[in-house]
Amino acid sequence: MNLSQKNNFIVNIPNAQLAKPFRQENPVAGIEEVTLSNLDAKTVRLTVVGETAAPQVELFDSNEGLIFSLPPLTPPALPLYKGGAGGGSQGR
């Protein structure tokens, strides 16, 4: 069940249990925090807090279990173009 609100993506995962909770602050640009915790004896809660909006989370099912993917919220920086034909000047 997805309970997303404001800057939070929240999902409850039924029929699951964690040995211990997980928490990481600022794992990637645009994400403030990711937490996994036991909501009750049979449910795990995943919360992902975005800096400015709820993140878009993609869910995949695999042989290993559920996979949650967080696409980047900010576009990758483009490399700077240096020089032109002939290499340009080098401080001369």
- Tens digits of residue pLDDT in 44-84: 999 999 999 888 888 888 898 888 888 766 555 666 666 66
Is 39 within the bounds of a domain? yes
Residue 49, amino acid: V
- pLDDT class of 4 with cuts at 50, 70, 90: confident
Position 46 in a domain: yes
Its pTM stands at 0.72
Confirm whether 79 is domain-assigned: no
In a domain, 85, yes or no: no
Residue-range definition of the domain harbouring residue 22 = 8-69
Q: In the structure encoding, which two tokens stand for residue 70, read together?
A: 């967080």
Tell me the C-alpha to C-alpha distance, in Å, between residue 9 and each of 57, 87, 91. 8, 48, 50
Contacts of 74 (CB under 8 A, 6+ apart): 29, 30
CA dihedral of residues 53, 22, 60, 55 (deg, nearest 10): 0
Q: Give the number of domains in the chain.
A: 1
12 is a domain residue: yes
